[in-house]
Every structure is written in C-alpha cells, then in structure tokens.
Structure 1
Amino acid sequence: MSSPSSSVQEAKRALGRRLREIRKDAGITARELAARAGWQGMERQQVLRSGRHRFAMLVEESVLRTVVGDDPEVLAGQLGHLIAVASLPAVSVGIVPMGVPRRLGWPVESFTIYDDEQVNVELVSAHLTVTQPHEIHEYAKAFHALHEIAVYGRQARALITAAIDALG
C-alpha cells in the first residue's frame, strides 16, 4: 500500500500531465499560462511557503466549475495551482460540496479573515474592511459553519480534479 504522501505526489504528477495536455492543445506556452493565471506574484508564494503563517481556505464547489471569461484553460491552471497549494504544510483547503445541507442558507459573499481584528469582504460594488468585533465574530461563525460541511484532503482533490476534467 502506498503512503498518503506518495498518493499526493502521484496525483500531482497526473494533474501536471493533464494540465500540460490542455495547455499544449490550446497552443499556449507555460509562461503565458502563468501570466493568465496570475502566477507572477512569487512574493505572495513565498508567504505561503515560509511557514510563518497558517492559511485556511474554503471554496464552494460551484466556484471550481465557473469559467469567468472566455478561456477555460485559465481556470484549469488556477485549479491545478489550488491542488499544489493545498499540499503545503501551512495551508488547509476545504471544498464545500454542492448539494450538502447547510445551516447558513445561501452561499455567503467572499471574505478573508486575517485575525480577530480585521475581515475583508468582497462585494459586487465595493471592498469592505470590517473591524467591529461583533461583525468579525459573525464572519468567524460563518467560516466555522462552512468548515464543518467542507471536505478536505483526498475528497477535496477529487472534487478539484473532477472540475478540471469537466473542462474537457
């Protein structure tokens, strides 16, 4: 029986092969894919890899399957990057599966909790910075509720890989 880390490495290699096929079929270079996917921010990548910070991310499964713009290869690249980032020791990626009953009701707006002093919220018309403790607490409750119904590890990778495969 293979170890979990060798299974992860095998999944990464398989995904890498599939992403290369998609990229080559689209006739774009690896650099062009990186530019389209926004991978030039290497300083941000160093923060993820430094180990000085911990990151917990939740993504709705429907987001994995939503192509914004005209180029599904960009989404494929982003999803491949998500799988790679999810394997980092300081990063936890949870996927909230479609169809799972939730106590929150509707999906919530995109938000980032930095600490117990600040939450950033992305709305259609604005980017908000929340600093009121009772409001921050509401976002922490929402994150916790979504965390409870999210899947992680192998199950999360399977959902992400299925979304990539659905791109064709």
Structure 2
Amino acid sequence: MTSSSSIRQAREALGKRLREIRKDSGLTARELAARAGWHESKCSRIENGRTGPSDDDLRVWTLHCGTEGQTADLIATARNIDGAYVEWRRMERSGLRRAQESVLPLWERTRHFRAYSSWLIPGPLQTRAYIEALLRAIRDRRALPDDLEEAVQVRVDKQRILHEGPGRFAVILEESALRHQIGGPATMAGQLGHLLSLATLPNVSLGVIPLNADRTALWPVEDFWIFDEAQVNVELVAAFLTVTQPHEISMYAHTFAGLAELAVYGAPARNLITAAIDSFG
C-alpha cells in the first residue's frame, strides 16, 4: 500500500464516522452546512474523504450534531492523519537537527525495536563518520541550512538508548547494505567493524539476508522501523511516513518476520560482514 492510499483510506474512515454522527442527529448534509455557514458541498467533501476537516470544522460539526463529547477524539484522529505523511522540506526547513530531535520521545518510550534496511546501516548502529557522511549528503542534496555538526551530535547522543536503555533491537539487513559505499572505503570499513562489535551486545539481534537468498516468496521492500506494536516509520524519497493503524502495523510485523527467516545470524552473518570489509581494502 502506498502512503497516499493509506492516508486516503484513513480520511475516508473519518468521513464515514462523521456521516454516521450527522445521520444519527437527524440532519441532512444540506441542513448541517446551512447551520455551519458552509457551502453545501463541504459536508459531502468531508464525508467522502476528499477534504480533511480542520479542528474548527470538527468543533462546528459536533456542536450542531449534539455530540460535543466526541470533539476531542475526532480532532486527535484528524491530526494523526495529517501527521502521517510529512514532507522532508517541512520537517527539515530549519535544518537537520530538528528532524533528528523530533523522534527522540518515540525512541525513549519504545522497548522493542525492529528495523529492516536494504541500503544503509540503521542509525543506532552507525559510527560518527558514517553519520556525518550520510547527513552531509542529505544537507547538500536538499539545500538545507547548515547545522550538520549539531545534527550529527544529536544522532550520536541518541545511541545511548542502544547502550543504556532497556530496549531490545532486532535488525535485519540486506547484504547489499554492507556493500553500498557511504563516506568512502575507510568509513565503510570502520562502520562494518563497529557493526561486528555491536552484534555481540545481549540486547541486539543482527541478521543479514545473503545476496543469493531465494527471494521467490519475499523480495526486498522499503526500509522501515517498527516501534513496539504502536508505530511504523518509513523514509520515502519525498517524505517521512508514520503508520499507526493496527492492521498496517501487523502487515509490517508479518513482513519483518518473513525477512527474518531469510536472514543468517551469528558466524554466517559475521562472515558476510567480514567479506564486505575485505572488499573495501
């Protein structure tokens, strides 16, 4: 499911709920629009998910339908939909540091982390040199304000959650993530050596899917993080996607389990990492 279709379905579900509230109140869409001072087509657009209601729209809706006790819940639902798909240019308009800091509360309250990546080493497992090369490239590509050093430090500091927190980390990498060069051969060799060290931590499970694995049943998918059973984050080309609907989280959890079955662990995984280190000279 694409991000746009997921958000559309959520808006349609909210619209259906609002239609039921209106009908239970005995009002027609035209009567509600007249009482609210709206164009008569506005109710239809909201109920069919074509227009997202504002906070004031929802307050007016529940006021005239006599369901003001539902206002807060409806506003929270609508805000979650609006926050599900956030463009990078909006998140990073003041620089990369803010984008790094914005996820800290989520990371601090999560106890079970699951990550899948096909092209890079995930953030908590990155070295400072790898982080700097990665964020510098993002800064330059997106022409962002230069707060590189501050952003790097925020990401480095966040790694205390891996070393000091109570969380468990299950990480699945495609072997290709070990081979994609970020920051040059020396940076990659250091990064992969660091990965070998982290794989020995008792709270870290590291699996690598070999390039020659049979992918008939499950091929590589978009990179994603699962935070407990509460949320999934996906980094897209243009935006940052947050998934909170239980059935979608379940789909990602099921996919992660399938990918985990394809991975190798322990000595076989270390052999793949060591081979990648050797390839960088």
Shorter chain as denominator, the TM-score bin is: 0.7 to 0.9
Residue 123 of structure 1 and its aligned partner are, at CA, apart by: 1.6
Match of residue 37, structure 1, among 130, 135, 154: 130
Give 1:46's aligned residue: 160
Structure 1 window deviating more from structure 2 (74-83 vs 111-120): it is 74-83
Q: Does 1:156 align with 2:269?
A: yes
Partner SS, residue 128 of structure 1: strand
Identity of aligned residues (%): 54
Give 1:55's aligned residue: 169
Aligned length: 134
Residue 42 of structure 1 and its aligned partner are, at CA, apart by: 4.6
Give 1:146's aligned residue: 259
In the alignment, the residues of structure 2 paired with residue 125 and residue 104 of structure 1 have an alpha-carbon distance, to the nearest angstrom, of 29
| Structure 1 residue ranges (4+ consecutive) displaced by more than 4 angstroms after TM superposition | 39-42
Q: Which has the larger radius of gyration?
A: 2
Match of residue 178, structure 2, among 64, 71, 92: 64
Give the root-mean-square deviation of aligned CA atoms.
Answer: 1.8
Q: What TM-score comes out, normalization by structure 2 length?
A: 0.45
Q: What TM-score comes out, normalization by structure 1 length?
A: 0.73
In the alignment, the residues of structure 1 paired with residue 180 and residue 188 of structure 2 have an alpha-carbon distance, to the nearest angstrom, of 8
* Contact 2:173-2:208 within 8 A present in 1 as well: yes
Residue 163 of structure 1 and its aligned partner are, at CA, apart by: 0.2
Unpaired runs of 5+ residues, structure 2, are 1-126, 132-151
Unpaired runs of 5+ residues, structure 1, are 1-33
Give 1:119's aligned residue: 232
Higher helix fraction: Structure 1 or Structure 2? 2
How far does the alpha carbon of each residue in 1:101-133 deviate from its partner, in whole angstroms, 9 at most, with x for none? 135443111100011110001122221110011
* Contact 2:218-2:259 within 8 A present in 1 as well: no
